[in-house]
Structure 1
Amino acid sequence: MPRPDSTARPYRDGVPEHGRVPKSHTVKMRLLQLMDELGEDALLPSERELAADYGVARSTLRAAIGELVMEGRLRSARGRGTYVAPPKLMQPVSMGSYTEAVRSMGLTPSRRVVTLEHHVAKPDLAERLRIRAGDLTVHVERVLLADDEPIGLESTYLPLDRFPTILDVLRPEGSLYRCLQDDLGVVFAEMHETVETVLAAPREALLLETNPALPMLLVMRTSYDPQGVPIERVRALFRGDRMGFATRMRA
């Protein structure tokens, strides 16, 4: 039997085949073990203590902590130290509202309005909504919160001709999905969604109360009714350190 090709799988359990592991990775593994022992929301010992215990320079320790912060496993609070972060919120990839998804996690959803306006559709948006460039849309932009913590920034665009009364019936802090279904009789039949990693623009990072250097998850979605007519175009930016997505697939 031929030997496995190690070049096709250069890493095994985080360790390169050549066996040379950066010190920061070793420290990271030890920190993960410590975090399991301490538990959620526990305060880590000081950098000085940890560097001494692990026998490494503080710069090496900071590199390991920085990776764990970017991954959302640790949270740093200026002047207060570094804490073990709670688990990420995992939102199902499904045709449902943010409200329902957050409630299913045992948290309280809410929204903070940023923008409610009429917006002129540029060619790309017009193509997605199958309207003419220059037509008016309704733009609803809100910060999504879970237990009052900013998690995402969502911008939704709807054709004004189709939904002329949406701003009259929408509760700004409520579910737009539910408003469209229950108040306007809209039936959602299909959605096309993409997810990619990006960095937040300064304005977005400010609204999300996060570091612009942390990775974000950008969700772009177009929803359709049973006749295949676009209902909405959504751009949602989620904090990568606090949010993930889950789906179930069957053969």
Structure 2
Amino acid sequence: MDSSILPRTDKRQKLRQGLLALIGQHPAGARLPTERELSERFEVARETLRHCLRELEDEGVLHRRQGAGTFVSAQPVVKEARLMSFSEEMRQRGLVPSSRLLSCTTVQAGAKLAHRLMVMPGSAVIEIRRLRLASQEPMALETSYLAADRVPGFDPAVLEQGSLYELLEQRWGLQLRGARQQIEATVLSREEAEQLGVPPFFPALVIERTSTSTTGEVIEFAKSLYRADRYRFEINVSR
């Protein structure tokens, strides 16, 4: 059938499939051909093309810059509801995980933190702040808290390229069994946005996680800020 006499819905579906196939051939950040070139390639009217491009932009597949063109967006990492370290997640998706240690200090647990870690108020707690990267791209800001007496001789330098969970298991025999997480929407402060390489007040996901060992002992309390454009959480539910 001549494409000029296809029903409108079929024509738009064919255009969408063609655009997605074209996008799949380009890396994140690549510039697509002009609207004139695309309309000629797919044999559609400019208005039909613009409608489809707007839909793909709303879905986060594309982004347009005024006067510059249409570009392929970096696709978000899908985070499943499984207890994995950031390093494990990135490796599973073919990305190279790394961390930039922002600070590591020993603090006294206040009432709230002591409750989270199941320790006495005033107990020594190690606070680790890291910038998490995937293939050198900033992805998240993470602050982890560990009861100091559970990890004697802790050296934060080994976390630059390694996983905290792997270190806990290999060095201290602390094998994690599960975690309780709370997820909320937020926006980044100017300092947080600068560290993550995005504009101030950029949307983000804040996740608080309390992790327990196979013996039921609380091992870690963590608070993480994930870039909302690079993370999507996926939860499977059943009835």
Q: Please, what TM-score do these two structures have when normalized by structure 1?
A: 0.71
The answer on 1:175 being equivalent to 2:163 is yes
Change over 3 Å in CA distance of 1:203–1:194 after alignment to 2: same
Query: Equivalent of 2:100, from 95, 112, 122?
Result: 112
What's the counterpart of residue 21 of structure 1?
A: none
What's the counterpart of residue 142 of structure 1?
A: 130
What's the counterpart of residue 87 of structure 2?
A: 99
- Amino acid of the structure 1 residue aligned with 2:114: A
Change over 3 Å in CA distance of 1:112–1:34 after alignment to 2: farther
Secondary structure at 1:125's aligned position in 2? Answer: helix
Change over 3 Å in CA distance of 1:199–1:104 after alignment to 2: same
- Amino acid of the structure 2 residue aligned with 1:36: L
What's the counterpart of residue 5 of structure 1?
A: none
Distance in 1, matches of 2:180 and 2:221, equals 10
Secondary structure at 1:204's aligned position in 2? Answer: helix
Q: Percent sequence identity over matched residues? A: 31
Q: Over residues 25-60 of structure 1, what are the superposed CA-to-partner deviations in whole Å (9 max), with x where a residue is unaligned?
A: xxxxxxx8896365144325789x9xxx559xxxxx
Secondary structure at 1:212's aligned position in 2? Answer: coil
Query: Equivalent of 1:212, from 200, 212, 220?
Result: 200
Change over 3 Å in CA distance of 1:178–1:228 after alignment to 2: same
Secondary structure at 2:104's aligned position in 1? Answer: strand
Q: Is the 8 A contact 1:73 1:241 kept in 2?
A: no
Shift of 1:190: 2.3
- Amino acid of the structure 2 residue aligned with 1:224: T
Secondary structure at 1:137's aligned position in 2? Answer: strand
Secondary structure at 1:166's aligned position in 2? Answer: coil
> Structure 2 stretches of 5 or more lacking a match?
1-15, 38-45
Distance in 1, matches of 2:65 and 2:130, equals 25
Shift of 1:86: 2.8
What's the counterpart of residue 115 of structure 2?
A: 127
Q: Is the 8 A contact 2:146 2:220 kept in 1?
A: yes
What is the aligned-residue RMSD (CA, Å)? 3.4
> Structure 1 stretches of 5 or more lacking a match?
1-31, 56-60
Q: Over residues 94-143 of structure 1, what are the superposed CA-to-partner deviations in whole Å (9 max), with x where a residue is unaligned?
A: 12221111111111111111111112222211111112333221111111
Distance in 2, matches of 1:169 and 1:212, equals 30
Q: Over residues 128-169 of structure 1, what are the superposed CA-to-partner deviations in whole Å (9 max), with x where a residue is unaligned?
A: 111233322111111111111011111100011222212278
Change over 3 Å in CA distance of 1:45–1:250 after alignment to 2: same
Secondary structure at 1:205's aligned position in 2? Answer: helix
What's the counterpart of residue 177 of structure 2?
A: 189
Q: Over residues 2-35 of structure 1, what are the superposed CA-to-partner deviations in whole Å (9 max), with x where a residue is unaligned?
A: xxxxxxxxxxxxxxxxxxxxxxxxxxxxxx8896
Matches within 5 A, 1:14-163: 36=20, 38-39=22-23, 40=26, 41=28, 42-44=30-32, 54=47, 68=57, 72-75=60-63, 82-163=70-151
Shift of 1:193: 0.7
Distance in 1, matches of 2:163 and 2:99, equals 9
Distance in 1, matches of 2:169 and 2:34, equals 52
Distance in 1, matches of 2:182 and 2:162, equals 24
Distance in 1, matches of 2:67 and 2:96, equals 28
Counting matched residue pairs gives 213
Change over 3 Å in CA distance of 1:171–1:79 after alignment to 2: farther
Distance in 2, matches of 1:76 and 1:203, equals 26
Shift of 1:178: 0.3
Q: Is the 8 A contact 1:138 1:157 kept in 2?
A: yes
Q: Please, what TM-score do these two structures have when normalized by structure 2?
A: 0.74
Change over 3 Å in CA distance of 1:243–1:155 after alignment to 2: same
